[in-house]
Amino acid sequence: MSMYIGEALVGEGNEVAHIDLLIGSKDGPVGHAFAQALADQKAGHSNLLAVLEPNILVKPATVLITKVTIKGAKQAVQMFGPAQFAVAKAITDCVAEGTIPKSDAENLVCVCGVFIHWEASDDKKIYDYNYEATKLSIERAMKGDPSAADVVAKKDSAKHPFAGF
C-alpha cells in the first residue's frame, strides 16, 4: 500500500483536536505531499516537522500542516509547542508499539493536519487531545478503519457534531 489515511476527533471545547493524516512511502504520493508541504510555506500556514525535542526528528518523518490560519503568537506557540510534541510523541509511540512497523519507519513519511482553535487556552488539553487523536488516526490508518461496509452501515444514522442541526 502506498498510502494510508486516518482521521480522529478527540476532546471538547476550544482545545478539541481534529487530526487528518496520511502515511505512505517517501517515493509515492505521500512523499510528494510531504515535500510540497515543507517547500510551499504561506503566511499563517507555517508547516513544521514533528520533533520530540530540537534535533530529534521523529521517524517516520512527519510534517504538521495547519488546518486553520495561525493568527497570532499564542496560537503559533501552541502549534509549535504542545501540538507538535503531541504528534511527535504519538508517532514515536506507534512505532515503539508496532502500529507502524519499525522496519518501515525510515521509508515512510507522514503528513498530519492539525487544528488549533484561535481561542484555545489550555496547553495540557491541547497536548492530551492531539496526542490521543494522532494515535487513534494512525491506528485507524494502518488498519484501514473504518471499512467501506462500516461507513455504509452508518450512513443513515450518522450525526456530525458540527453540522449545526
Rounded CA gap, 139 and 7, in Å? 10
Q: The C-alpha cell of 94 is what? A: 506507534
Q: Which has the closest alpha carbon to 10: 165, 111, 138?
A: 138
Three state DSSP letters for the chain: CCEEEEEEEECCHHHCEEEEEEEEECCCHHHHHHHHHHHCCECCECCEECEEECCEECCCEEEEEECCCCCCHHHHHHHHHHHHHHHHHHHHHHHHHCCCCHHHCCCEEEEEEECCCCCCCCHHHHHHHHHHHHHHHHHHHHHCCCCHHHHHHHCCCCCCCCCCC
The single residue of 18, 32, 45, 117 carrying the catalytic annotation is 18
Catalytic residue check, 160: no
Q: Which residues belong to the active site? A: 18
